[in-house]
Amino acid sequence: MGQVRCVLDWLPPWLAKWKREAIRDHQRYNSKFEQMFSSAKDASGRKNNLASGICATVLKPGARHNLSDHELAWLAATLFTAGYETSSNTLTWSMYFMILFPEIQARAQEQLDQVVGKSRLPTFADAKHLPYIWAIIKEMLRWRPPLPIGIPHATVADDYYEGYFIPKNSIVIPNIWSINRDPEGYDDRIEDFYPERYLDCDGNLKDALDEGHFAFGFGHRSCVGRHVANNTLFVDIATILWAMKIEPVKDAHGKSIVPSIDDERTDGITLHPPNCQFTCTPRFDEVDMILQQARDDILKSMRYLQE
Ligand code: HEM
């Protein structure tokens, strides 16, 4: 609030409740982040740097760049918070889309059955053979970007854009929602959820290198985690759809309950899907055993790291 309404920024904290709350929150987060980072650092030292995780990952390059523990704690926390909310939000949207568009779910599962089969989980090695999963991810991030108005930025110098004067220190809010619906950039089914827009007539991605949307922002400060995000979404969504049929719950008369897209919610800058309930049913007999095996392998490797 203080940033957007500049006059209010001059008020001292004792007159401005939001400033007192910001100072209190900063102290709270600071001690939490420093405490979490220091225990991860201790654990990492005990295990001869075998530990995985964000804190362990920033330690080595942090030393090279002379970053203090305070800076490293905030770096790890920034990566975690920026990546967690956006990625988990997109995954939640993906569950909602699968009950809203059962024919899209079925088409994705048909491709998974052809490429992966039923005796193993999908892996990153399957990525280039599963264009329909990528098309779904692109369309999810185009149609319902988790941050529809991005992150506000400030201009550092006077500027002009298409004849408009933008004075130095202006706050600029990117309208990602609208850019993702630019009639010049997309075909005439702009308001539809239509993953096929990214595919050619053979079902391959028209342009694998083009993101196809602006959900990650643009320019110098665009999302640094976009590749982690895309790859995480790929392996998560491919695994979920390989393993389960996702269906809406039914009412007492056997009618599916699918909340309207108009019931989507926002908490300020993040867009959330409507509250919905769904069932997940294994698609074939081997699913349970293969998932348990994968879980055991992960737990075993985590125990190895903790020893
Ligand atoms: C679906 C997932 C994600 C979406 C939609 C998303 C979206 C965004 C957007 C819109 C911005 C602001 C860009 C701008 O100001 O122009 C941003 C910044 C950022 N994102 Fe992501 N993000 C996602 C996942 C991640 C992940 C997984 C990480 C970390 C591993 C991450 C780390 C960051 C960081 C550190 C910034 C600040 C970059 C800067 O200011 O220079 N994001 N993200």
Residue 259 domain-assigned (yes or no): yes
Give the closest residue (by CA) to ligand 1 atom 40.
221
Q: For residues 99 and 42, state if they share a domain.
A: no
| Helices 69-100 + 54-64 axis angle, to 10 | 140
Examine the domain organization and report whether 62 and 133 are in the same domain. no
Ligand 1 atom closest to the CA of 221, numbered from 1: 41
- State whether 104 and 58 are in the same domain: no
Residue numbers of the domain that contains 267: 92-144+177-306
Query: Is the Cβ–Cβ distance between 237 and 94 less than 8 Å?
Result: yes
Digitized pLDDT (tens) for each residue of the chain, 307 residues in all: 555 556 788 899 999 999 999 999 999 999 999 999 998 888 777 765 545 678 878 887 777 788 999 999 999 999 999 999 999 999 999 999 999 999 999 999 999 999 999 999 999 999 999 999 999 999 999 999 999 999 999 999 999 999 999 999 999 999 999 999 999 988 879 999 999 999 999 999 999 889 999 999 988 889 999 999 999 999 999 999 999 999 999 999 999 999 999 999 988 889 999 999 999 999 999 999 999 999 999 888 876 665 5
Q: Which residue is closest in CA terms to ligand 1's atom 18? A: 223
Secondary structure (DSSP) of 104-162: HHHHHHHHHHHHT-SSS---GGGGGG-HHHHHHHHHHHHHS-SSTT---EE-SS-EEET
Element (H, E) at 193: none
Question: Considering only CA atoms, which of 79, 66, 82, 89 is closest in space to residue 40?
Answer: 79
Residue nearest to atom 3 of ligand 1 (CA): 86
Q: Which of 67, 84, 105 is the last residue of a domain?
A: 67
Q: Domain count of the chain?
A: 2
Q: Are residue 300 and residue 184 in the same domain, yes or no?
A: yes
Residue 169 lies in a domain: no
Residue 116, both tokens: 């992966």
Alpha carbon distance, N-terminus to C-terminus of the chain: 47
CATH number for the domain including 127?
1.10.630.10
Residue 155 lies in a domain: no
Pair (132, 218) in one structural domain: yes
242 within some domain:
yes
From ligand 1's centre to the CA of 210, what distance in Å? 17
Residue ranges at the known binding site for heme? 223
**To 5 degrees, how large is the angle CA 73–CA 78–CA 82?**
155
Mutation test residue for ligand 1: of 138, 216, 227, the one with most atoms within 8 Å of CB: 216
6 lies in the same domain as 125? no
pLDDT of residue 150: 94
Q: Do 58 and 104 belong to one domain? A: no
Does residue 85 sit within a domain? no
- Assess whether the C-beta atom of 150 lies below 6 angstroms from ligand 1: yes
Going by CA atoms, what residue is nearest to atom 39 of ligand 1? 221
**Domain membership flag for residue 298:** yes
Check whether residue 109 and residue 194 sit in a common domain: yes
Cα of 80 vs centre of ligand 1, distance in Å, is 10
CA distance 275 to 148: 19
pLDDT value at position 5?
Answer: 57
State whether 225 and 181 are in the same domain: yes
